[in-house]
C-alpha cells in the first residue's frame, strides 16, 4: 500500500474488522514501531468499544511499565478518538479517568 493511501485504507479496514483481525494486525506490526503507531492512530475509525477498550488499556498498561513508546501510544490513541464521533471520545475519556491512578504511578 502506498504510504499516502495507508491512512484511508487502514481506517476503512478498521471500521469493519473484529477483534481477531485487529489482533492479527497488531501482531504483524509488532516488529515495526512506526507502523504500530499508525495502527493505534486508526482506533478512532472504529465504533467497536470492546476493541478500543482492549488496545487503550494495553497502551495504558504499557505506560505503567515505562515502555519507551508508551506515552506516544496513549497520546496517539486519544488524538484518534478525539477526531472521531463524540461517543468514542467520551468512552476513551472514561477509560482514562478509570485508569488515572495507574498512570500516575
Give the DSSP per-residue string, 34-101. HHHHHHHGGGGG---HHHHHHHHHHHHHHHHTT-TTHHHHHHHHHHHHHTS-HHHHHHHHHHHHHTHH
If 0-12 CB within 10 Å is exposed, 13-18 middle and 19+ buried, where does residue 29 land? middle
pLDDT tens track for 57-97: 888 777 666 566 677 888 888 888 888 777 888 888 888 88
Q: What is the mean pLDDT of residues 43-62?
A: 85
Q: What is the per-residue pLDDT for 67?
A: 61
C-alpha cell read off for 52: 478500543
Mean pLDDT, residues 34-46 taken together: 83
Q: Residue 80: its pLDDT value, please?
A: 87
- The average confidence (pLDDT) of the chain is 80
Contact 51, 19 (CB under 8 A): yes
Amino acid at each position: 500500500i502506498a504510504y499516502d493511501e495507508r491512512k484511508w485504507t487502514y481506517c476503512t479496514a478498521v471500521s469493519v474488522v473484529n477483534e481477531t483481525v485487529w489482533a492479527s494486525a497488531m501482531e504483524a506490526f509488532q516488529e515495526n514501531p512506526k507502523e504500530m503507531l499508525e495502527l493505534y492512530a486508526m482506533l478512532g475509525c472504529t465504533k467497536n468499544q470492546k476493541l478500543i477498550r482492549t488496545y487503550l488499556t494495553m497502551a495504558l498498561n504499557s505506560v505503567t511499565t515505562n515502555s519507551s513508546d508508551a506515552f506516544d501510544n496513549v497520546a496517539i490513541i486519544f488524538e484518534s478518538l478525539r477526531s472521531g464521533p463524540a461517543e468514542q471520545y467520551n468512552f476513551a475519556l472514561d477509560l482514562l479517568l478509570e485508569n488515572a491512578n495507574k498512570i500516575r504511578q
